[in-house]
Amino acid sequence: MTQKTIDRIRRFTEDRDWEQFHTPGNIAKSIVIEAAELLECFQWDEEEYDLGHVKEELADVLVYCRNMLDRLGLDEDEIVNAKMDQNERKYPVDKAKGRNDKYDKLG
């Protein structure tokens, strides 16, 4: 996400004085709600879906994730890279390539 977009999200929230409502719990709930709305786009058909609606719901998820990062003072690159380091250890290419097994079933 570019700094311009991040600033726009922050300004939107600040201009409306909504920071007071952005507790970690409220934001987490909102992420789940918006993710469920994203999932609803594929509820009955995973091949025929409204891409415009998918984009709207995905954007809502991303905006709330950005709000959570701000609220908790986290850096998205730092936490994503830490998680990728963990995933790479749990799912080594030689064991996981082409498989969808959970890491403890890779043997």
Q: What gap in Å lies between CA 59 and CA 39, rounded to an integer?
A: 13
pLDDT value of residue 106: 87
Residue 24 has pLDDT above 90, yes or no: yes
What does the CA dihedral 4, 7, 12, 14 come to, rounded to 10 degrees? Answer: -170
Higher-confidence residue of 17 and 105: namely 17
Cα 21 → chain centroid: 20
CA–CA separation, 14 and 68 (whole Å): 14
The SS3 assignment for 107 reads coil
Residue 103 has pLDDT above 90, yes or no: no
What is residue 107's predicted lDDT score, i.e. its pLDDT? Answer: 78
Identify the pLDDT of residue 105: 86
pLDDT tens-place string over residues 32-71: 999 999 999 999 999 999 999 999 999 999 999 999 999 9
The packing angle between helices 3-15 and 51-72, to 10°, is: 80
